[in-house]
Every structure is written in structure tokens, then in C-alpha cells.
Copies of this chain bind each other. A is one copy, B any other.
């Protein structure tokens, strides 16, 4: 065990966790992670989530945070983007449809953008060059109005 005594079981729904095996169990950690993600509308790092969980008295191992994020991402329940620095940023997503983001590099605020025309364009260009089994990345970074002013 750790050192910090768990803040006792709060009365939470306790969501289902990593489906590493076949079944899936509801754990305090899984619930805490899901809840935190649900209330976090910006892209954040695994490390940040880990820190905030400790602060709110719901300590969860960093490894566990990573494992849940991985499962959630695979299930398409959260988005993952890779920063130019090579760090992964996670965020709950409103739709499971394919989409891209406009991310504020200062506060993490994100705007999901409709990229229908771009999708069409990339497919057309790549196909014209004889490429198949396509995939692509597209993220726009900038400073949002609030951060630019304040």
C-alpha cells in the first residue's frame, strides 16, 4: 500500500474500469478518473490528472491513471493529441465521430471543429497519389482571446 490513507469510500457510482481481461470491475479509482475527466473540458496530461486526483483526496497511482486513459482512448471515449514536445494530452470528447481540435496553448481551452471539407480533401489528395489505408493528424494551436487579453 501507499502512504496516504484513502479518504474513505465516498458515495460514488464507481465506474467500470480497464477492460484488460474479459470482465470489468467498478473501482474507486476508475470512478475518480472518469469523474475528473467528465468535469475537465480542456486537454490535460496524465501527470496533471494524477496530481489533481491526489489533491482532491482521491489518490490514484500514476500507472493506473495511464491504464485507464489508454482504455478510454481505445474505446473512443476520450481524445488524445500529441503535443510537439511529445506529451500526450487527454480530454473527454463530446462525440465519437472523427474530428479535430483548435487548442489554446496557454489554457488548454479547446474548440472542436468540423472538418468535413478537410477530410474530403485529404482523402482526395492521398488517393490521387496512390496511397491507401489512410490516416491523418491535424491540430491547430493558438492563443485564445481570453489568454491574449488577460
Cα of A144 to Cα of B129 in the assembled complex, Å = 8
Q: Output the least CB separation between A85 and chain B (Å).
A: 9
State whether A126 touches B140 (Cβ < 8 A).
yes
Please determine whether A130 and B113 come into contact, CB atoms closer than 8 angstroms: no
Is B113 in contact with A140, judged by CB distance below 8 angstroms?
A: no
Contact B102 A125 (CB under 8 A): yes
Q: How many monomers of this chain does the complex have?
A: 2
Chain B residues, Cβ within 8 Å of A129: 102, 111, 144
- Cα of A84 to Cα of B82 in the assembled complex, Å: 7
Measured between beta carbons, the chain B residues less than 8 angstroms from A138 are: 136-138
Cβ-closest chain B residue relative to A130: B145
Interface size in chain A (residues, C-beta < 8 A): 32
Q: Using CB atoms, name the residue of chain B closest to A139.
A: B137
A121 near B130 with CB under 8 A, answer: no
Partner of A141, one of B121, B136, B144: B136
With a cutoff of 8 Å between Cβ atoms, the chain B residues found around residue A141 in the complex are 134-137
What 1/0 mask marks residues of chain A from 97 to 136 whose CB sits below 8 Å from any chain B CB? 0000010110000010100011001100110011111111
A-side interface residues toward B, CB under 8 Å?
82, 84, 86, 102, 104-105, 111, 113, 117-118, 121-122, 125-126, 129-145, 148
